[in-house]
């Protein structure tokens, strides 16, 4: 109900923005009961149909200190996107508890959610206190993600949202990772020339790995938030999540999760017209950058 009330409140400026720009997609994430309320009133925004993602009840929120002053929020959010292999959605959902348990054990993670859509898409979402926490978790959790999702779904992209200073730190990390991958490929290739054909196969594989890193960059998009982004204080209980949740635990986790569904409007700007739209509704333009790094999978 909070989401629907907000959309009604911003209907006029939102319509003005839609006249000057084009929506890429509209997503609503939330618990099944909350999604049902939204579906009853909202199926399209402009000419774009809404895609609904049901959030598993193992979602986690915990408070992050934020003064509320301009620029005080250093939070970075990361969304991994996957396409589920045919018939594997139930297997993906069965790993929700393991993902939540892992996220709850990591310092710097203040939000975790696994959401699935009816058309076979999966979002694994995390929020962090800053870029350093995001980078650390992205590095250390890659094998954990692959072990639970790699056999059941294909990586389809990654979005990272954060304030300018934190996104610059993400970009610097990615640039170093790419440089290291390319350097390693050249080193192995050089060794192949010196030592002969015995290591030629290794050189070829190193080059393939470097090429894979570069290709993966095309699926990573960085979004820079403006200084008017807000984060309101909240409190919640951090659950001790076991591999199998009892019905009582599921009810407790459901209370911890946000009752309202969250909406994500991703709009692509179209030159000066999009800038005019941003000015019209008081939103800053989103600057998109593509970058590279296999660790981000």
Tens digits of residue pLDDT in 185-236: 667 666 666 666 555 566 666 666 666 656 666 678 999 988 777 776 655 4
> 286 near 24, Cβ under 8 Å?
no
Give pLDDT, residue 151. Answer: 86
> 265 near 18, Cβ under 8 Å?
no
Is 50 exceeded by the pLDDT of residue 287?
A: no
Give pLDDT, residue 79. Answer: 95
pTM higher than 0.85: no
Interval 25-84: pLDDT, tens? 999 999 999 999 999 999 999 889 999 999 999 999 886 766 667 767 889 999 999 999
Angle at Cα 166 formed by Cα 163 and Cα 169, nearest 5°? 150
Segment (H or E) for 296: none
Is 60 exceeded by the pLDDT of residue 170?
A: yes
Residue showing tokens 């030592």: 195
CA distances from 106 to 99, 148, 149 (A): 11, 17, 19
Residue showing tokens 């310092």: 107
> 50 near 44, Cβ under 8 Å?
yes
> 267 near 69, Cβ under 8 Å?
no
Is 90 exceeded by the pLDDT of residue 8?
A: yes
| Whole-number average pLDDT of the chain | 75
Could you tell me the sign of the dihedral formed by the alpha carbons of 27, 145, 220, 74, in that order?
A: positive
Give pLDDT, residue 196. Answer: 62
Burial 281-294 (b: 16+ CB within 10 A, else e): beeeebeeeebbbb
What residue ranges in the chain does DSSP mark as E strands? 22-30, 44-45, 48-55, 60-61, 76-84, 109-117, 121-128, 153-162, 220-224, 262-268, 288-290
* Token pair in block for residue 65: 């200190």
pLDDT, greater one: 140 or 188: 140
Give pLDDT, residue 257. Answer: 35
Q: Residue 116 — very low, low, confident or very high, per pLDDT cuts 50/70/90?
A: very high
Distance CA(9)–CA(7), nearest Å, equals: 5
Q: Residue 258 — very low, low, confident or very high, per pLDDT cuts 50/70/90?
A: very low
Q: Identify the three-state secondary structure at position 10.
A: coil
* Token pair in block for residue 57: 């009840």
Please give the span between the terminal C-alpha atoms of the chain, in angstroms, as a whole number: 34
**In sequence order, what are the residues at sequence separation of 6 or more whose Cβ sits closer than 8 angstroms to the Cβ of residue 194?**
none
User: 48: number of CA atoms within 13 Å, CB side?
Assistant: 18
Give pLDDT, residue 252. Answer: 38
User: 257: number of CA atoms within 13 Å, CB side?
Assistant: 27
Give pLDDT, residue 109. Answer: 93
Phi and psi (nearest 5°) for 87? 80, 10
Q: Identify the three-state secondary structure at position 51.
A: strand
Average pLDDT of 234-243?
A: 43
């Amino acid at each position: 109900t909070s989401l629907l009330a907000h959309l009604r409140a911003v209907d006029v400026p939102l319509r003005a923005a839609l006249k000057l720009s084009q929506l890429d997609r509209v997503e609503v994430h939330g618990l099944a009961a909350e999604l049902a309320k939204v579906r009853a009133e909202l199926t399209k925004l402009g000419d774009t149909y809404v895609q609904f993602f049901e959030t598993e009840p193992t979602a986690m929120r915990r408070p992050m200190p934020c003064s509320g002053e301009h620029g005080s929020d250093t939070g970075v959010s990361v969304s991994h996107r996957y396409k589920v292999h045919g018939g594997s959605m139930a297997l993906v959902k069965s790993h929700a508890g393991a993902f939540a348990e892992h996220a709850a054990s990591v310092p710097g993670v203040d939000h975790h959610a696994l959401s699935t859509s009816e058309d076979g898409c999966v979002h694994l979402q995390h929020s962090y206190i800053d870029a350093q926490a995001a980078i650390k978790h992205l590095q250390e959790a890659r094998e954990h993600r692959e072990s639970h999702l790699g056999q059941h779904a294909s990586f389809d992209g990654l979005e990272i949202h954060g304030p300018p200073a934190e996104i610059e730190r993400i970009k610097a990390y990615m640039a170093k990772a790419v440089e290291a991958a390319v350097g390693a490929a050249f080193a192995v290739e050089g060794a192949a020339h010196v030592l002969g054909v015995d290591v030629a196969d290794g050189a070829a594989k190193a080059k393939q790995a470097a090429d894979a890193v570069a290709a993966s960059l095309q699926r990573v998009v960085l979004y820079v938030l403006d200084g008017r982004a807000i984060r309101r204080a909240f409190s919640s209980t951090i659950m001790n999540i076991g591999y199998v949740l009892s019905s009582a635990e599921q009810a407790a986790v459901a209370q911890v999760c946000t009752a309202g569904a969250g909406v994500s409007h991703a709009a692509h700007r179209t030159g000066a017209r999009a800038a005019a739209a941003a000015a019209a509704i008081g939103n800053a333009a989103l600057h998109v950058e593509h970058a590279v790094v296999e660790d981000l999978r």
